[in-house]
Amino acid sequence: MAKVSFAVDGKAVSVDVDPNMPLLYALRDDLKMNAPHFGCGEGQCGACTVLLDGEPTRSCVLPVSAAKGRKVTTIYGLGTPKKPHPLQTAYVQEQVPQCGYCVSGWLLTAAAFLKKKPAAGDSELREALSGLKCRCGTHVSIMRAVKRAQKQMA
């Protein structure tokens, strides 16, 4: 066991855990967070995505020790109910969520990508989001929402 300290959504946290345990488990089990979600457990679907120092990262395959001293952003740190991120607003406007299980991965990945490349074209957006899965099949609605948010952020 080791004490691992890092920031989650702007707040300093510490967990006393096996340093090889996935960050996802520390967030959900030790810090009692409801998101990110466990999806495939292999880093393939994106439901567990967080931003690690601003970069989309699959928390189910990242050892918690890799987060030591770093900034982790979950869906809760992207925006607030009073001041949602443009992507969160666009998701609601486009009525994207069905089950909502994958939303964290899509929003965080899109937010990081649009921050780097705000004028990205359709093919670049598809490529940036290509590793994410939505089992409800809302990919078309997701792309509409991302493009709507992209316009609002310009």
Residues 12 and 72 in one domain: yes
Q: Quote the number of domains for the chain.
A: 2
pLDDT score at 100: 87
How far apart, in whole angstroms, are the C-alpha atoms of residue 2 and residue 146? 40
pLDDT score at 106: 97
Of 47, 77, 107, the last residue of a domain is: 77
Residues 12 and 62 in one domain: yes
Residues 96 and 143 in one domain: yes
pLDDT score at 64: 98
Residues 92 and 140 in one domain: yes
Question: Where in the sequence is the domain holding 58, given as residue range(s)?
Answer: 2-77
**Are 96 and 142 contacting, i.e. CB atoms less than 8 angstroms apart?**
yes
Residues 24 and 72 in one domain: yes
Structure tokens at 88: 């969160």
| pLDDT confidence band for 97 (50 / 70 / 90) | confident
Average pLDDT over residues 16-40: 97
Residue 67 makes CB contacts below 8 A (sequence gap 6+) with 4, 6, 23, 26, 52
Residue 69: pLDDT over 90: yes
Residues 58 and 88 in one domain: no
Of 77, 94, 119, the last residue of a domain is: 77
| pLDDT confidence band for 98 (50 / 70 / 90) | confident
Residues 11 and 60 in one domain: yes
The sign one gets for the Cα dihedral 108, 49, 9, 71 is negative
pLDDT score at 46: 96
Helices 86-93, 103-116: axis angle to 10 degrees equals 130
Residue 8: strand pairing partners: 11, 72
Average pLDDT over residues 59-84: 97
